[in-house]
Structure 1
């Protein structure tokens, strides 16, 4: 008891003079961010900066209490500033309506602050702020909520783990054949609709093709026997069905909604029906035409409010066809002057398009249809936030910030909020100790190192940069050179290495065991990458893998490989295969696209390398609903 009572006394005496002079950065002005800002303003902090890229949506108003109806559409950061000044007009607060990942917020920007408080809703931004705080040697307080669960974590270079020391659970993914051929849940149709958006208006990805998958093992030997091939392009040489390009159909001046509709919901469904093996033990889909869908009208309730009709009500098929047409027309205008569009849950035409297409496909496959509100939650990977949880977590964040200012790091253990506990009746649970950094972390280790397993004969340098370095290793603007040769293969200077983009890694002199020196100037981050030749053997195997476990490829082995490159492979083409006989797949972290990670239920689960998946098939947990 004596120890517990002594902690507040230390805080009171140490923080009294520190709070008014402390300079704090709050990253994010959503559910947690609003509560943090309010707490800071009422706790005596007088120098605060806030940054947030988002604008206020009507769905934010039930829990982001700095905003009102008249603020919808305005910058969260700017409105939060004005509201906070109403709480305390004597404080200095600076607001930025911008992304924290842009180049103007570099290491020197972060060095201006005594503490950084994260209130973000996506993992990419969290990773970036983590690296910037490490580079600037500024304490970071990370926080997040998911429903009734929440967490607050202290991160300090040389004292604790960083945000990336432990692997985060990957996004739940679905086999491509399920999405294309045999959906059975609403989320399958929603993912399909998002893929269709990218196919028509986004950056095309062959892995996201929405056409029936004739390579589906379940339909092998049967696919396409009785398909209506006369309605599709056919290769005259080998008779294989070629997929019709539909992107131009959507953006043409003579755009015909009926033509697109009948292709995706009529012809493609008839083609699926020709795969007879698929429907031996499941209900077959029902092809749908534009004219038939338009005839299916369902009148809304007379008592339904406008919000209910547009957001909470499940649209009739007739309504879906109308929205299908209207949203494509709006998206065509948005695409003018751009190479492609990026799907955004807060962009009304994009959300309307996905909602309409997902519900039409759900009807065809006898799957429950969803309202636009539900589709936004599922497609945007949103767990509805609980305002009380946000408030509790925000309070803990400010208390921890005071301890950090007093250099009372020993009492800055991670704290968890949870609805119930299997071992006690407590709502708050703290770690027993502060976890030291993971010596194999490829971010905060003294010499960051990572193994990357890719097919060097098929992966292009551009894919390596985008999928491996940026999306998986969370870099913003990487530069890379081949160690020992000094050849720069990737440059963050625009256009400098574009000539290499379409070349295979092997064509650039990268072979099994090659070492790349990669750095990101913006993040002040350097990484050694050992490239291993790897080939996916099964259909569902990941296209590449990474591991920060140096023991998989020791530094001595790396040097031997480099010497072999210099001595026996002067031309750099290299066709040696990876020798992975002694590798254990359990030691390799499969890299997939990720979304925001959920807070763990407590200390007993937080440090597990492979956390259990969320049991709700329709949702992927995130750390804070900043919808």
Structure 2
């Protein structure tokens, strides 16, 4: 590939080859950005990313190959980018940008910072560091086919935190635990269950019936009778979910009966909840096994991902998921915990979600994931470099916030509407 630097005026080309820039993030946007930078003629680049490469990255983060799975994104991105321009001087950090080592003094050594991040906390941090160091920051992001690039400069533009960001949607605990009525309620409950069983326990993410539900009406004697009627394995309600699960060795059958039989029977004692709602039906593993277990030798029809399972089929998926996660926990050693990851962990416990609610978008909803589009990342990465060239040319006043709309503008007026100047607020 031919570098762009030869087509730029000499003053700008010299600035590009001598300036030092920081790229924060080596994922979807970061890979495209590093390639663009070295082909434009940038020679002194430092890149930082905390993440490692996963198979799911390979469809859009083209600097990575299957052989790189498990390795540092920053380091592999550096090695791959050097193949485009061996003379470039790239330093890679496999670390978090929020590490105290990357303080204001660290940022001051750069002429320009380019963000290619996917989380708000890190964006806020870089924004504050650049303001304190008085270094121009090019902020970017994509969401499916949508994208945005904006330049942030102290005293000239508003900063990243000047504009309020939409808060993540939350749901009342009593709805999640007692009366889920939408797919997302069931998915959030399943995500909570993952942490209660295998991750870091959070008192705000309990999965057992909520006895403080203001809608509930109680009959204490009946409650006690129903709650213990099917408990043959000890008192499972006086200890935490994780403690009890560990005591059973994460037995899938016991977990199933607690979650879908004992807890449901407990919920049925909250009489008022079911005045205007359809009451849930308890499920018993052994009864399902005896009544719904298919005869041996009965072939499953259709492709695996297209098969419509019955209740017993989902029970088996639940068992497989619990056993998979139990094995992962054992591999980490005594006292270890699994950490929820929006891609990696989602795949390993996907079957648990499908048992809770067989819904085609369950993975994306559980991880709050908007599918990444490779072409969107490429367009945004190109726009980042264009804004960077304006800054290095001393034309900060011509920088714009560039929005990549979901639909292509049909006229020049509509196209102009996607570019807007930003007032100085910081």
SS at match of 2:138: strand
SS at match of 1:217: coil
Across the aligned residues of Structure 1 and Structure 2, the Cα RMSD in angstroms comes to: 3.0
Query: 1:435: which partner in 2?
Result: 423
Shift in Å, 1:151: 0.6
Query: 1:212: which partner in 2?
Result: 209
Shift in Å, 1:185: 2.5
C-alpha contact (below 8 Å) 1:290/1:321 kept by paired residues: no
Query: 2:151: which partner in 1?
Result: 154
Choose which of 328, 331, 340 in structure 2 pairs with 1:330: 328
Whole-angstrom distance in 1 between the partners of 2:72 and 2:404: 30
Cα 1:375–1:55 change in 2 (3 A) is farther
Whole-angstrom distance in 2 between the partners of 1:428 and 1:40: 27
Larger displacement relative to structure 2 (314-323 or 100-109): 314-323
Choose which of 62, 68, 76 in structure 1 pairs with 2:73: 76
Choose which of 395, 419, 438 in structure 1 pairs with 2:382: 395
- Cα deviation digits, residues 528-552 of structure 1 (max 9, x gap): xxxxxxxxxxxxxxxxxxxxxxxxx
C-alpha contact (below 8 Å) 2:252/2:318 kept by paired residues: no
Shift in Å, 1:409: 0.9
Indicate yes or no: 2:352 matched with 1:357. Answer: yes
C-alpha contact (below 8 Å) 1:218/1:278 kept by paired residues: yes
Shift in Å, 1:299: 6.3
Aligned positions of 1:340-351 closer than 5 A: 340-348=337-345, 351=347
Query: 2:403: which partner in 1?
Result: 416
Cα 1:102–1:287 change in 2 (3 A) is same
Shift in Å, 1:149: 1.1
Shift in Å, 1:330: 2.4
Indicate yes or no: 2:382 matched with 1:386. Answer: no
Choose which of 114, 118, 122 in structure 2 pairs with 1:121: 118
Query: 1:317: which partner in 2?
Result: 315
Query: 1:229: which partner in 2?
Result: 227
Choose which of 237, 246, 258 in structure 2 pairs with 1:251: 246
Query: 1:143: which partner in 2?
Result: 140
Gaps of 5+ in 1: 1-10, 234-240, 363-368, 439-627
Q: TM-score, normalised by structure 1?
A: 0.59
Shift in Å, 1:127: 0.8
Indicate yes or no: 2:78 matched with 1:99. Answer: no
C-alpha contact (below 8 Å) 1:159/1:436 kept by paired residues: yes
Shift in Å, 1:265: 1.5
Shift in Å, 1:316: 3.4
Shift in Å, 1:335: 5.9
C-alpha contact (below 8 Å) 1:32/1:119 kept by paired residues: yes
Choose which of 276, 300, 308 in structure 2 pairs with 1:281: 276
Indicate yes or no: 2:277 matched with 1:290. Answer: no
Cα 1:429–1:82 change in 2 (3 A) is farther
Whole-angstrom distance in 1 between the partners of 2:132 and 2:38: 28
Shift in Å, 1:140: 0.6
Shift in Å, 1:123: 0.4
Number of equivalent positions: 404
C-alpha contact (below 8 Å) 2:409/2:415 kept by paired residues: no
- Cα deviation digits, residues 396-419 of structure 1 (max 9, x gap): 100101111122111112111102
Cα 1:391–1:296 change in 2 (3 A) is farther
Shift in Å, 1:77: 1.3
C-alpha contact (below 8 Å) 1:417/1:429 kept by paired residues: no
Aligned positions of 1:8-157 closer than 5 A: 12=9, 14-157=11-154
Cα 1:113–1:258 change in 2 (3 A) is same
SS at match of 2:368: coil
Whole-angstrom distance in 1 between the partners of 2:416 and 2:75: 33
Greater helix content: 2
C-alpha contact (below 8 Å) 1:180/1:212 kept by paired residues: yes
Q: TM-score, normalised by structure 2?
A: 0.85
Whole-angstrom distance in 1 between the partners of 2:142 and 2:395: 25
Whole-angstrom distance in 2 between the partners of 1:224 and 1:16: 82
C-alpha contact (below 8 Å) 2:33/2:385 kept by paired residues: yes
C-alpha contact (below 8 Å) 2:198/2:325 kept by paired residues: no
- Cα deviation digits, residues 208-252 of structure 1 (max 9, x gap): 21111222233245698456133599xxxxxxx965422222334
Shift in Å, 1:91: 1.0
